[in-house]
Structures are given as C-alpha cells and as structure tokens.
Amino acid sequence: MVDTSVALAGLRLDNPVIPASGTFGFGHEFAELYDLDVLGSISLKGTTREPRFGNPLPRIAECEGGLINSVGLQNPGVRAVIDEELPKLARVFHKPAIANISGFSVDEYAECAALLDARPEIGILEINVSCPNVHAGGMAFGTCPENAAAVARAVKAAAKKPVFIKLSPNVTDIAAIAAACVDAGADGISLINTLLGMRIDLKRRAPVIANRMGGFSGRAILPVALRMVWQVYEAVDVPIMGLGGVATAEDVIEMMLAGATAVQVGAENLVNPWACPEIIAALPRAMEQYGITRLEDIIGGAHHG
C-alpha cells in the first residue's frame, strides 16, 4: 500500500494535488462534478481588496500545447469572498483551502492577508507578486527581489498562517527572488506563474487578445516550470508548491523529484474538469510503477542522484 500524503507548512495533505488559482473558481463551482474532499487542497481564485471586472474582451487565445489568458484578476473583492464565497466552499470542502491574494500596493497585500488569515476555511496564504506596483511605474512586484521581499515582509507581519509567495517566471534570476522572499520571512514558494505570450489573428493582422499579451499556460510550459522548481529548491530551504504544465500523475512525480512538496494543476482543469481527481486516482499506480512507497520520500530526490 502506497502513501500519497505530504506535509505542507504544517498541514497534512492526503495527497499533493491542488487545483491552481484562476483555474478552479472559488472551488464550490466544481462540487457538482465530484467530491472535492479527494483533493489535497484548493488554491482559490486570485482576490484583491476591491472588486475587479478584469481586462477587456477577448481575453483568451488558444495555442499549441496551451492557452494564453489576460483575464485581469476578475474577482468580487476580498469582503465578498469572505462573506459569500468561503461559506459556500465550507459546505462542500472540509479541508483547509489556500487563499490567493493579489494587490497593487504593499498595504493592499497586507490588508487582504490579515482579513483572509482570520478565516477558519483558510490554511495557507498564497501571495501573487506578479501584479504591477502602482508606486513603481507599474513594474511587477515579483520582478525585483527587494519589492517581492517587501510584500513578503508586510504579509508576514499581518498574518499568522503560512505564507507562500507565488513567483513570476518572467525574470532573469528566479532563485534570487525566492531567496529574498524567504529572507523576508516567507514560509514557502509557489512557482511558476504564467509565462508571457501572445497570438496574432492572421485575418485581422492584429493581436487576438485585446490586451495584446497574456499569460501562457498549459502542458507546453512544464519543462520551464521544472527547471525553475529545481533552481529554487537548490536556493532555499522552505517547501515549494510546483505548478506549470502539470497534467498527469507522472508530471506530479517529476515535479516532486525536482523539489516540490505539493503540486498544483492549472490549465488542465480548463481542458478537463476532472483532471485533478483523475491524477489523484492514477498516483498509486504510477508510484508502484516507479518503486515509490511514500510520496513524501521523493521530494527533491533528483538532486541526489
């Protein structure tokens, strides 16, 4: 009998499979399809202080091996999430969820973190630093170690629960940014967020997406995600949630060998709403195939030969 459970920042998960933020709504929407309690946890839709309508349409462009999106953090705002979405989730999911927080200033990150930290439904705060810093000319917090660390420091001061910083891959040195966040108190790192990409409509001779560029996700980005998880595992001594292109039980094992403690499934949920339970069901067979008894034992295993 194999053991799929893992310990993530003090939480014991039945398995490491977690739907990624932005691909699973606020969780309760999927309860009509299957029992959500089979999941390790759920990373909820990105939440900001104020409601956001998001970017203009069209927001989605298909491409080989994935898709490009520019949704623009559409969400009802943190107060509505607390008052409406979390109670709905608690009725159908009986494990700690992961709150995904975005912001446009350090103060906004800290305020949202404090509010969600107080909720019993939430076990981990995942801080998306891919947002533009309105006080720095629109440069994303996550592209600069100092700015990412400032967010990590402020959130840690405002919250008691574990804080994971979700990093953008659109940088030169992902390990340096991860290390700065850990030095500032982060309890873990999530990576990677989407790559930057675009598509052009040949008939219109113009970008498909109204915002021109968007986040490229899907199976095609798995090698990039693996490389960055590997690099960050070598640079910091905190748990990593690996994501980017994960679509199979074998991908989960590969991510964990690279250094991930838990693995998020993103764009695959949009292609196949049953992706996560199918991956979870396939994990024991894949573990037996590769001689793995305890999944937790393989974390970072590829670094040791």
Question: Annotated catalytic, 181?
Answer: no
Using alpha carbons, select from 127, 133, 233 the residue that is nearest to residue 174: 233
Question: Which SS3 state, helix, strand or coil, does residue 7 take?
Answer: strand
Cα distance between residue 281 and residue 262, in whole Å = 16
Amino acid at 271: V
Q: Per the residue annotation, which of 131, 144, 181, 276 is the catalytic one?
A: 131
Amino acid at 179: A
Q: Exposed/middle/buried for 100, CB within 10 Å: 0-12, 13-18, 19+?
A: buried
Task: Give the residue numbers annotated as catalytic, written as ranges.
Answer: 131
